[in-house]
Structure 1
């Protein structure tokens, strides 16, 4: 069926109508406005005939005469499908609003695509911001402060081990041999203050060594921000000073986590074999640096070793540890 389009003067909707009604009138299905259908809008429509109203008689009309008079007010159209349509006072065709499903679908798809693009850009922006913040946080961990021999770990607001600043991944090896009994409690307390009273993205693992073997907390490097003080205290209290620690094995185990920094806390001179093992471990991983805290003794060999591997040699006494704790 051929149709024509026209715009309603009342509501501006685009309407569809059978082309056979060109030249007549129609009603808008949206607002009810009556309008004339332009002749040129339906060139295929043809007015078959216009019935002329017969002269109305002076007397009351019979039913047959009334029917003839009503038909005389009608126009008869032939549609493109060959159907005759009568249009009169009580038979005005209704123009239906044009269905633009494809246009609406395309518009909806376009809107959804634009919205998805905006959300994707927003998500990317949030991700980039979080990455920048994380990277900035890591730089803060590494460059948080300059080491000072008098820096008290109990007063530091940044993660540290015995006052030493931390890299992004750190292994702390503590020699818990029998000789460390006089200072181990003070070292434990200072380490706890530096790692549990602060928040940091720096990943740390503790490796204690004594005559019983190796003891680790946690089982692998973990961000300081996720440490719990009660778990650390329970671990430290469970490691007693006994026998002779295995520094070489503790260092070898620590290097498996590819640390950027190792802090060695000892209270005795390492054996020749332990020094050789330390050198080999750091030669195999040139990215790691070595810091040494020597408690109640002095070691020229360890001082030289830290200088070779980019770290600090920090001699410390038990009295200093006590003063820090009492502050």
Structure 2
């Protein structure tokens, strides 16, 4: 085991993936000598050469179009979009090309080796163009997988699994905790399952569900609730697409209540999809309405970032409201 922060775990996963498969190629804006804006790809170019880790032009549509071409020819591209906010120029290449490649050919060809890494979310005073959480846009697209780690151990295992998965994967990295989240990580090669939620803490009164950096806030809120005698079951969704409805439903049938939290705005956020599914499957078990504690329906603010983000205090109030409904 080694102590790593989330960035180091990602770098370690990329290093292992490149060492174990010479078809793995990393590229994006400034990822070469510079190591990317957050240094996630540091030293990979020195170790594997310019042919396997290199800079691209500042054209997101071109980065993903190029990645699709490489994947279609049998390479295993790991493309970095510098911030998730910048992914929209590549939207067509992701949802109309990468996601549909296998289906439109009747499985004759695919781009399943493609992984797209991108940092998402607020908490770094980045303002409206460096703080968005766009996972729900892509969750509407069959043919993609969407993965969001919460800590270094998760980041390494889930990234290695994503790179080796036979489907195109969007890997959203919570940049707010890139260096703040530190933990013990196995130095060897390992993978964690995609599409499978993790129950971090069992409880009886309410189920708390989130993913990525929001897990830290959920866990803090659960601690506050426990002091008032409220028993919280805490679940990390980990994969937004496909999402583990069975694990969440089983928990809600036990607790009778569900609170979902994400940084993205409320309207059209992925919490709405989860709430609809759980209401269908668990209606007769629910003791109170399903709660959503999310970002606001506004562009992401700079000065008012704290007011925008769903923190542990907002979550704690929602927990109390649900339990006392």
Asked if Structure 1 and Structure 2 have the same fold, meaning a TM-score greater than 0.5 normalized by the shorter chain, the answer is: no
More strand by share: 1
User: How would you bin the TM-score normalised by the shorter chain?
Assistant: under 0.3
Q: Which has the larger radius of gyration?
A: 1
